């Protein structure tokens, strides 16, 4: 049975930088840099331009990951794309990415399967588990895993929505999961969920239980109330459960891999809130040099945070071959996950 390892990484953020102060001066939100930074550790984030969607961000990150892996797009066998902000309600953004990579027409046609994963902040780890299973089973040899988000186009950028809108940014991260006979790669992935708290972090605009699911005006136009249109979050509930779940998930992954927290050289945590990650690190007694972060620059890019961080630390030389890496994420659902990788 082959092992599955990450042969390449890539990331991309749109060029527009929006600082905490910009939220106040450009968007008129009653907030301040101090208020946001104290609670989250975020200083700025990136917003995509009008007309730029998730598949486009994913393409940029993918091409960087392919270059890192020394592959061409037509050498891929499958695509798994994690996002909570797909370009359309349907179809998924995975097929849009496949087309953008030139796999559906031209000289390098290859109708590879494309799967979307909708597990929000833990979406990358859920997607990685799919790729790991495909590769280890021998079904595919080269699987692209992407986390990509265009949050800014669906944020309530007013004072009413400041507790949520100040958290999120746009971006994409990608990895190529490849088959190898070497003794390296993804050692174990632990996943979990608790639907009891599904309403604690949600955006209900597509509530299909309603008939019609979007109310209509007399001209047939959609009418969406603010409580349905914008994301809702119970911050304290999310914080408490995130710390518990991420800590527990890492310990479970270590147990399954017969390793210890102390054996891990670097931890790549989901970048949702600096205070959550600091608390997890404290609970596990992790030295600061083992826990890199970039939330101050990008905010929460949901499914993109972990692959974006992996690519950044690899390019900086902090993530090196032979290191043991621990991943952990928590998000809406509630869902969570962890992984141990011998890089």
270 assigned to active site:
yes
Q: DSSP per residue over 3-49, as a string?
A: EEEEEEEEEE--SEEEEHHHHHHTT--S--HHHHHHHH---EEEEPP
Catalytic-labelled residue, pool 3, 46, 60, 121:
121
Q: At what angle do helices 274-284 and 33-40 cross, to 10 degrees?
A: 30
**Catalytic status, residue 121:** yes
How many Å from the N-terminal Cα to the C-terminal Cα in the chain? 18
257 belongs to the catalytic site: no
Element (H, E) at 337: strand 335-342
As a whole number of angstroms, the distance between CA 23 and CA 96 comes to 31
Please tell me the distance from the alpha carbon of residue 326 to that of residue 265, in angstroms, as a whole number.
Answer: 8
**Catalytic residue, candidates 3, 119, 277, 300:** 300
Residues 20, 270, 273, 277: which is the catalytic one? 270
Question: Which among 109, 30, 112, 116 has a CA at the least distance from the CA of 81?
Answer: 116
Residues 6+ apart with CB under 8 A from 107: none
- Tell me which residues are annotated as active site: 121, 270, 300
């Amino acid at each position: 049975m082959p092992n599955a390892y990450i042969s390449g990484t890539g990331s991309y953020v749109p060029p527009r930088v929006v600082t905490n102060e910009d939220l106040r001066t450009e968007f008129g939100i009653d907030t301040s840099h101090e208020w946001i930074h104290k609670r989250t550790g975020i200083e700025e984030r990136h917003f995509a331009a009008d007309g730029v969607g998730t598949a486009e961000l994913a393409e940029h990150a993918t091409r960087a990951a392919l270059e890192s892996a020394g592959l061409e797009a037509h050498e891929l066998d499958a695509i798994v794309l994690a996002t909570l902000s797909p370009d359309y309600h349907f179809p998924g953004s995975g097929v849009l990415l496949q087309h953008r990579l030139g796999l559906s027409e031209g000289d390098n046609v290859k109708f590879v399967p494309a799967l979307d994963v909708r597990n929000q902040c833990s979406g990358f780890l859920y997607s990685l588990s799919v790729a790991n299973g495909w590769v280890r089973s021998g079904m595919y040899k080269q699987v692209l895993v992407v986390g990509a988000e265009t949050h800014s186009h669906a944020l309530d950028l007013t004072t009413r929505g400041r507790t949520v809108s100040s958290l999120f940014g746009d971006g994409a991260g990608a990895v190529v999961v490849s088959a190898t006979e070497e003794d390296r790669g993804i050692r174990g992935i632990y996943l979990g969920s608790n639907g009891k708290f599904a309403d604690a972090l949600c955006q209900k605009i597509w509530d299909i239980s309603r008939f019609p699911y979007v109310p209509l005006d007399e001209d047939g136009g959609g009418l969406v109330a603010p409580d349905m249109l914008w994301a809702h979050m119970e911050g304290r509930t999310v914080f408490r459960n995130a710390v518990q779940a991420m800590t527990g998930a890492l310990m479970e992954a270590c147990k399954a891999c017969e390793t210890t927290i102390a054996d891990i050289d670097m931890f790549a945590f989901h970048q949702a809130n600096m205070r959550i990650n600091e608390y997890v690190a404290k609970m596990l007694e992790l030295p600061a040099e083992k826990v890199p972060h970039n939330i101050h620059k990008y905010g929460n890019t949901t499914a993109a945070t972990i692959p974006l961080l992996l690519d950044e630390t690899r390019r900086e030389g902090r993530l090196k071959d032979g290191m043991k890496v621990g991943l952990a994420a928590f998000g809406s659902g509630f869902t969570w996950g962890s992984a141990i990788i011998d890089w």
